[in-house]
């Protein structure tokens, strides 16, 4: 019974409970929407404040109004799109007021709440106003970059240069917001380089001058046979047209220095002219005479060539039969001078002769019979160089005989003619 009464009670209160639950649900949704909208609006307000602060500083540094507006939109548009707004630029307005060194910036953005219809505020304006003074407000600039030209030395042994651009950076800072202009740090390398150009190369070194020998065939001198090879010294030098690279050689040029590499030249063999000479010769006097016969005999010789080169070879000297400067001192030996013709004769007695004799022999007849003869002897003192017969006549007795008979004696004789004709033979002789 009690259970039935409870159910009946519940059924009778059903309408009131639904109204109460609906009211509580509406209140809960309203409080939650307000919290969500407040959070979204607060985040947007902070973003607007940050954008305004940056923009007003840039306005103080010299940005134009248009540049400041673009800077605000650039920082807010992406955020508004993330919040679901498709028209970010039309939702935000920027007002810039400049007065002397002061710039005032007012930024207004329309915010549509998500749950405003539950609490009667579907759209609200978020306003941010900020200003900055050019003389007192210090805003640190962003980091700066620059490229500077750099050079390096070439490695040892090379000449030239190494150049490149080096990136350097610096940052600014403010001691306080009212410190005025920011203070920049020094430029420091970032480690990045570009446009590296290397011209390093080995230096050009000119080597020492070079020489060489060039062969040429030369003719032998006149009168020689064979060949001759002459070497002429040539010289060239090197120079460097540039500080680097390879040296350039000049052309080979002849010097005045030469040398003989080979020489087979030899004098051509030419038979020499016929040569003559005079040699002294002597001969004997005829039998029975004393003295000398001397003369110069001409001799000649000729040459022949055993080969095409070299010296000719002469043959032996041969008499030509030509004589000159002949001297004949032959005379009858002392004591043996014979005269076959009757007459008067004189003779010269050599010095130192002390005795002379003369003999006359007659001949005739058959030539076999000796006729009487005269003989004369005289001692000579040897003081004078000659002596005569002192008027002594030596006569051979004539006889008769047949024609063609001959006579003779110990010392000499003659041949008779007709009978009765005598032949005179005087034979002087002397002894010391």
Taking only the tens place, the pLDDT of each residue in 186-197 is 999 999 999 999
- pLDDT > 60? residue 97: yes
List the one residue out of 75, 7, 11, 84 whose CA is nearest residue 47: 75
134 vs 4, which has greater pLDDT? 134
Which pLDDT does position 76 carry in this prediction?
Answer: 84
Cβ atoms of residues 416 and 423 within 8 Å: yes
Q: How far apart are CA 174 and CA 90, in angstroms?
A: 36
Average pLDDT in the 296-311 region?
Answer: 92
User: Cα–Cα–Cα angle for 402, 406, 409, nearest 5°?
Assistant: 135
Q: Tell me what the mean pLDDT of segment 168-177 comes to.
A: 84
Cα–Cα distance, 246 to 202 (Å, whole number): 9
Helix pair 65-82, 2-61: axis angle to 10 deg: 160
The full length of the chain comes to 432
CB 377 within 8 A of CB 357: yes
The Cα 238–Cα 403 span in angstroms is: 123
Q: How confident is the model at residue 43 (pLDDT cuts 50, 70, 90)?
A: confident
pLDDT at 351: 55
> Between 203 and 417, whose confidence is greater?
203
Q: Which residue has the tokens 């710039």?
A: 103
Residue 51's contacts (CB-CB under 8 Å, 6 or more residues apart) are 71, 72, 75, 76, 107
Lowest mean pLDDT across 25-29, 71-75, 138-142, 382-386: 382-386
Cβ neighbour number for residue 365 with a 10 Å cutoff: 20
- Lowest mean pLDDT, pick from 95-104, 129-138, 152-161, 207-216: 129-138
Backbone angles phi, psi at 368, to 5 degrees: -105, -10
Decide: 263 and 252 in contact? Cβ < 8 Å.
no
Measured distance CA(41)–CA(79) in Å, rounded: 12
Q: What is the pLDDT of residues 318-373, one digit of tens each?
A: 999 999 999 988 876 655 556 666 666 666 655 555 566 665 555 444 433 334 44
More confident: 261 or 20: 261
Say whether pLDDT at 396 is over 60.
no
Q: Let me know: does 311 contact 269? Beta carbons within 8 Å.
A: yes
Q: What string of H, E and C letters represents the secondary structure of the chain? A: CHHHHHHHHHHHHHHHHHHHHHHHHHHHHHHHHHHHHHHHHHHHHHHHHHHHHHHHHHHHHCCCHHHHHHHHHHHHHHHHHHCCCCCHHHHEEEEEEEECCEEEEEEEEEEECCCHHHHCCCEEEEEEEEEEECCCCCCCCCCEEEEEEEEECCCCCCECCEEEEEEEEECEECCCCCCCCCEECCCEEEEEEEEEEECCECECCCCCCEEEEEEEEECCCCCEECCEEEEEEEEECEECCCCECCCEECCCEEEEEEEEEEECCEEECCCCCCEEEEEEEEECCCCCEECCEEEEEEEEECEECCCCECCCEECCCEEEEEEEEEEECCEECCCCCCCCCCCCCCEECCCCCCEEEEEEECCCCCCCCCCCEEEEEEECCCCCCEECCCCCCCCCCCCCCCCCCECCCCCCCCECCCCCCCCCCECCEEEC
pLDDT tens digits for range 244-302? 889 999 999 999 999 988 998 998 999 999 999 999 999 888 876 778 899 999 999 99
What is the model's pLDDT at position 366? 40
Confidence band for 122, pLDDT divided at 50, 70 and 90? low
- Contact of 279 with 318, CB cutoff 8 Å: no
């Amino acid at each position: 019974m009690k259970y039935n009464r409870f159910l009946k009670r519940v059924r009778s209160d059903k309408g009131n409970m639904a109204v109460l639950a609906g009211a509580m649900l509406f209140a809960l949704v309203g409080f939650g929407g307000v919290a969500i909208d407040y959070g979204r609006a607060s985040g947007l307000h902070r973003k607007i404040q940050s954008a305004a602060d940056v923009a007003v500083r840039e306005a103080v540094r010299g940005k134009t109004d248009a540049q400041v507006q673009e800077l605000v939109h650039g920082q807010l548009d992406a955020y508004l799109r993330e919040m679901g707004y498709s028209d970010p630029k039309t939702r935000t307005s920027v007002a810039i007021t400049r007065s002397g060194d002061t710039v005032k910036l007012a930024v207004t953005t329309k915010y549509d709440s998500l749950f405003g219809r539950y609490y009667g505020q579907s759209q609200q304006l978020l306003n941010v106003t900020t200003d900055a003074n050019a003389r007192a407000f210090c805003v640190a600039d962003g980091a700066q970059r620059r490229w500077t030209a750099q050079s390096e030395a070439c490695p040892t042994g090379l000449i030239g240069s190494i150049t490149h651009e080096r990136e350097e950076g610096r940052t600014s800072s403010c001691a306080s917001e009212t410190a005025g202009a920011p203070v920049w740090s020094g430029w420091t390398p970032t480690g990045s380089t570009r446009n590296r150009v290397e011209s390093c190369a080995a230096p050009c070194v000119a080597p020492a001058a070079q020489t060489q020998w060039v062969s040429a065939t030369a003719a032998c001198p006149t009168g020689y046979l064979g060949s001759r090879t002459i070497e002429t010294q040539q010289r060239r030098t090197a120079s460097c047209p540039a500080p680097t690279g390879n040296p350039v050689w000049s052309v080979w040029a002849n010097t005045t220095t030469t040398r003989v590499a080979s020489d087979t030249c030899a004098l051509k063999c030419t038979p020499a002219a016929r040569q003559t000479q005079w040699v002294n010769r002597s001969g004997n006097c005829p039998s029975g005479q004393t003295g000398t016969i001397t003369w110069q005999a001409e001799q000649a010789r000729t040459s022949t060539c055993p080969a095409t080169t070299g010296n000719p070879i002469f043959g032996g000297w041969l008499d030509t039969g030509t004589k000159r400067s002949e001297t004949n001192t032959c005379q009858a030996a002392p004591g043996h001078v014979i005269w076959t013709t009757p007459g008067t004769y004189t003779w010269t007695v050599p010095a130192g002769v002390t005795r002379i004799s003369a003999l006359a022999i007659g001949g005739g007849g058959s030539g076999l019979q000796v006729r009487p003869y005269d003989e004369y002897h005289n001692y000579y003192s040897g003081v004078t160089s000659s002596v005569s017969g002192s008027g002594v006549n030596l006569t051979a007795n004539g006889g008769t005989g047949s024609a063609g008979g001959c006579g003779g004696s110990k010392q000499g004789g003659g041949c008779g003619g007709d009978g009765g004709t005598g032949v005179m033979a005087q034979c002087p002789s002397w002894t010391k």
